[in-house]
Amino acid sequence: MAALEILAALDALPRLGWVDAPTPVTPLPELAESLGLRWLGAKRDDSLPLLGGTKVRKLDRLLATAPFAGAPAWASAGAIGSGHLVALTAAARRLDRRVDAVLFWEPPSEGVLENLAYTASGPTEIAFVGTRAGLALRHPRVLLGPTLRGIPVVAPGASVPAAVVGIARAAVELVAQVEAGEVPPFDRIVVPLGSGGTAAGLALGLGLAGHPASVHAVAVVERWLAGPRRLAALAEATRRLLVQGGIAAATAATPAPIRIDRGWLGPGYGVPTAASRGACSRLGELGLALEPVYSGKAMAALLAARGAGDRVVFWVTPRRGETPPADPDWRERLPRALQRRLAPGAPGPSRRRLLVAGAAGAACVGLRVTGYPPLPAFRGQVLAAWEAHVVRAAAEALLPPAPGPYGDVAARVDRYLAALPPRLRRDVHALLATVEHATLLGGEVRRLTRLAPAEGEAWLRALDAYGGLARQAYRGIRDLCMLGHYQDPATWPDLGYGGPRVPPGRRPSSYDALAAPAGAIPPGWEAAP
């Protein structure tokens, strides 16, 4: 079936009509030559209406379906400079609706503040939770839906099948441009990978149109937020939705391959890198306005892949130009906590504030400490039984095989904690609560102790990849587990360590007075089973 026929069938499905004419493809011959590519073009979604940007394609479809079409308001979440919330706010302005937006922090920049100003100036009610962990713990419904206080939830990034239909249509649109001779056949599409809807939709659209190309998805979020299984599941759910809608090409469509490139994230989501800023600057010289958090990182990956010799389409996803002027008092419409964070010289959150906030947020949604199997052999002085389960799960995920039960690691950690000051113990309690329950941050309903060891390892290492305070949380639980594991002399041969040694004939020193007498038991060890 020709791409134009598939486009006609897709356009018969519910839509608002914001996306009609195809966006142009701008050839970039000089850049292609410098990169060793046969051809390079930019698909200009920045020319779309409603401030432009690929997100308009999603909202054009999603907001035309129930329950969004008839709702007076929508709820959604994003970073303080979220382009998704900008597009949703613009849609609310046009359709005379309201947006309940839940925001989390990202490093402010000129572009971030411009987006925030537009969102705050619109028909919006804004809540601020500080961190993504806080968002998951305090407002899980805005991530998991379907409603928040009776208002239908638009998933972050609008990456749900009804919206991804619009992205699949975009890929078919591009193939139609190839069939019309406007664009040469291409080998791959380069696109940023955030919530996953764009990459999954483009892969499905290429499969619908039967074009032999792949999707090069450059991750701008952490591993646990956009893995291959999620992309495959999203593409398949969208394909099934199209089959239900009578799209014949969807019946046997196989999505194009998606290659996830995780080398360009940098310190974490929302944080520009030197490479992404350099990519924005270079493309700006060619008349393309990118931003350093999403499209800049995708372009940085493309600029580094020299000599491939293939034909590439770079998908320009951000909105175009500047947003309309913001209300002069837009900052006054922000929650007080966010106003304070944006104030000049405002300090960032400390490690203790992250952990305490995680524990407090968990308490706000009724943190569950039930449903854990009994541990008859565990006699904790500091750790509760459920906390021992958390330590054991983390140890199984991160450590080499233990010579004994992993529960012994929890017992040794408990004995170590018994000698710490109360303030540090409180930090550890908050750390364990955060590591156990903040899996909601990645859309995973199961807590850490319900995950298989490989899944638990992926979650914990994702914390490390995120950087900043999340990395400190990962390192805290890792170090506690290693401390408990390597207290066992049976683990020492794996390290090539033969145990404490004192050379024969060593002269006595002042340090000898610090040595414990033979048979002495450290404090807290009396309770060991």
Residues 149 and 248 in one domain: no
Residues 22 and 169 in one domain: yes
Peptide bond just before 146 cis, omega within 30 deg: yes
Asked, for residue 108, whether it belongs to a domain, the answer is yes
**pLDDT at res. 130:** 84
Domain that holds residue 309: 3-51+161-316
Long-range contacts of 66-74 (CB under 8 A, 24+ apart): 67/146, 67/152, 68/152, 68/154, 69/14, 71/97, 71/151, 71/152, 72/97, 72/98, 73/97, 73/98, 73/99, 73/100, 73/151, 74/98, 74/99, 74/100, 74/151, 74/152, 74/153, 74/154
Pick from 268, 297, 316: which residue ends a domain? 316
Residues 259 and 358 in one domain: no
Residues 272 and 202 in one domain: yes
Residues 239 and 185 in one domain: yes
Asked, for residue 218, whether it belongs to a domain, the answer is yes
Q: Which residues of 76-106 are buried (b: 16+ CB within 10 A; e: fewer)?
A: bbbbbbbbbbbbbbbbbbeeebbbbbbbbbb
Alpha helices in 180-227 (DSSP H): 197-209
Three-state SS for 259?
A: strand
Pick from 90, 121, 153: which residue ends a domain? 153
Query: What is the Cα–Cα distance from 496 to 498, expressed in whole angstroms?
Result: 6
Residues 176 and 135 in one domain: no
DSSP bridge partners of 261: 218
Asked, for residue 324, whether it belongs to a domain, the answer is no
Asked, for residue 333, whether it belongs to a domain, the answer is no
Residues 430 and 296 in one domain: no
Pick from 256, 289, 316: which residue ends a domain? 316
Check residue 151 and give left, alpha or beta (phi > 0: left; psi -120 to 50: alpha). Answer: beta
* Contact status, residue 173 vs residue 167, Cβ threshold 8 Å: no
Residues 109 and 11 in one domain: no
The backbone torsions φ and ψ at residue 34, rounded to the nearest 5 degrees and listed phi first, read -65, -25
Query: What is the Cα–Cα distance from 39 to 183, expressed in whole angstroms?
Result: 10
Three-state SS for 331?
A: helix
* Contact status, residue 414 vs residue 383, Cβ threshold 8 Å: yes
**pTM score:** 0.69
Asked, for residue 41, whether it belongs to a domain, the answer is yes
Asked, for residue 25, whether it belongs to a domain, the answer is yes
**pLDDT at res. 507:** 61
- CATH number of the domain encompassing residue 103: 3.40.50.1100
Asked, for residue 521, whether it belongs to a domain, the answer is no
Q: Regarding beta strands 25-27 and 39-44, do their DSSP bridges make them parallel or antiparallel, or are they unpaired?
A: antiparallel
**Total count of domains within the chain:** 3
Asked, for residue 282, whether it belongs to a domain, the answer is yes
Residues 418 and 484 in one domain: yes
Residues 171 and 268 in one domain: yes
* Contact status, residue 460 vs residue 397, Cβ threshold 8 Å: yes
Spans of the chain, pLDDT less than 70: 306-308, 321-323, 345-370, 402-407, 440-444, 465-469, 500-529
Name the helix (H) or strand (E) containing 113. helix 110-121
- DSSP-derived letter for residue 43 is E
Residues 143 and 169 in one domain: no
Tokens of 462: 């994702």
Distance of CA 450 to the CA centre of its chain: 21
- DSSP-derived letter for residue 18 is S
Residues 225 and 266 in one domain: yes
Query: What is the Cα–Cα distance from 64 to 50, expressed in whole angstroms?
Result: 15
Helix, strand, coil percentages in the chain from 3-state DSSP, rounded to 5? 50, 10, 40
Three-state SS for 148?
A: strand
